[in-house]
Structures are given as structure tokens and as C-alpha cells.
Structure 1
Amino acid sequence: MKNKFIQFLVVGAMALSLTSCFENPSWTYDMAPVVEFKNPRTGFATQPTNNVSNGAAQRTIRQLLKRDSILVQLVGAQRPEATTLGYVIDAAKSTAVENINYRILESKGSVTIPANSSSAYIKFEILEGIPTTVAATQNFPLVLTLTGNDQIKPSENYKTFTLNIRR
């Protein structure tokens, strides 16, 4: 029994001594900066889902919400100047119609992250364009894809966001 205890202590001491040979991990993001969509909805009863396997992030809202926004986040060091990034609305995948189901409140196709900041919002108004004859469970998706700019590219996992609008 004493022999097994000594073996256990020797193996434990070896395991502890070997872990000191590993480098301390750096918790600082040191890759090229990227931008991505995030899906925060603090205080709202919605069902956000992030599915990294196909690069889709989505959220379902009711048209009664009236206003909503999607967060665009810079992953990397903050920049000393304002950064304008592009995005497109995927007409092939979107059935929500501009000025009937939604209206972009600021400049369409671009969002600006202020200087010394890490995020900005694409803000839009939800219009009551869905007829009452449509089932309340039918979605009208609005699909946005980040395009970035010359210096900052979009993250492959989070460059697309789908906002499903319901009656």
C-alpha cells in the first residue's frame, strides 16, 4: 500500500512539473481585425440562435416591435479613426420588402464604427406591411451580409445575419 502511494505521488509530481513547460497562453486577439454580426437582445422576448456551422445568425421578431437594430462588432484593436464598413441585403434570400416590411434608418449599405470604439448598429424600422390574412407563424426574412472594407474583412462565421419578421 505504501509503495502504491509513493508511485501516485511520483506520477503526480511529474504531471505537475511537465505543465510548467508549456507557454502561458495569450488572451489578446493578435490576428488581423475582422467584423461580425452579433445578436444581443437584452430585455426582449425573442429567440436568438447562432449556428456557426453554416455561418448563420438569426433572430425572429414581430412587426409590432416597430424598431430594431443589429450589432456590428469589430474583433481586434480599436481604431483611432471612424471606420465605415459595407453590407448588402441579399435579395435572393430575403422576402421582406424595403418600405413595406422594414426601412433602414441610416445610410443604407454602410455602417460606421466610431473612433476608439468596437461596435455600431444597423438601425431599422419595422413597418406593418404584413397583411392580417398571413399566418402569424410565417416569416419574412431580411438577410444581411457584411462586406467590410479594404482594411477589415468580415468574419467567415458571422458575416451573415437573418432577421425574420412576423405579423
Structure 2
Amino acid sequence: MLGRTYENENCSAARALELVGERWSLLIIRNAVFAGMTRFSDFERRLGIAPNILAKRLDGFVADGLMERREGREYVLTEKGRELGTVIVALTEWGDRWAAPQGPPILYEHEGCGGPVHVRVCCEDCGLQPAAADVVAVYGPGSDPQRRPPRAPSRPRTA
């Protein structure tokens, strides 16, 4: 895992991975978001995870504000934790395309109407859904001008 000082990284993706980048983390969050799990024993049994590893992950989630600990050994997602559901849907869709030769083992549906749920990248200005190759990274307000490489990312020119 990445260090906590981020001396060489000023990157929100790197910071997010520090919270949930360990192999069990997103599986625990997945089961909390989509299976409604809250009990230590349910996570342990369903995932087959060692209790010491599970305890460490859950304690970390509480410390980082992804979960709140309730009576006994119950862990409830916060809004911050629930929002990771979108990340899990996106990762699952990628896995369905590239790592599921028999087809998707799980489909996500809107509970209200039963329609399929997908994650899409959409341009806020024009509404188009650009391909990944057409998305560029540019410096944002949280970037450090002193740490920028000599050549900054730029937007493609339009006609």
C-alpha cells in the first residue's frame, strides 16, 4: 500500500486507494452496500476472511469515516462508505468485460423499477460519453504548482 505522507503523489486516486486499496477492503464494502451486512460474524463467514484481518479493516473503516461501530460487533456504513457503491459498480462492469469469461455473475438493478444500473463517464458541458482515450487529465485547484512536472497535461484543441 502507499505511504500516508504522499510526498511524491498529490493524487485523489492514490489517497482513495490508501483507504480501500487492500484486497479485502472493497469486498467488505461491497457486502455492506449490496448485501446489507453489518455484523462482524457475517463478513467473516461470507468472505472467509481471517478475523484479525477483518478486525483491522473494519477498525480502519471506522477511523477513516467509512463506517460507524454500533453495539457489539456491528458496523454500519456512513454516507462516505455508501458512496463507494458506485466505485464497486464501475469496477464490476470492468471485470464483467475483461475478467468474466462466462458472463457477469452479478447484475445491478435499480430497486425502484428493476432497470439495469451502469456507471458512465459523461461530459458535464456537452453531455457526450467520451471513450477513455478521449479523456485527458488537467491540473485542478488542489494541485501544487511547485510539484508540477515541467510539461503540464493539456486539453486537446478543438476546431
Q: Is TM more than 0.5 here?
A: no
Q: TM-score, normalised by structure 1?
A: 0.20
Q: TM-score, normalised by structure 2?
A: 0.20
**Between structures 1 and 2, the one with greater strand share:** 1
Larger-Rg structure: 1
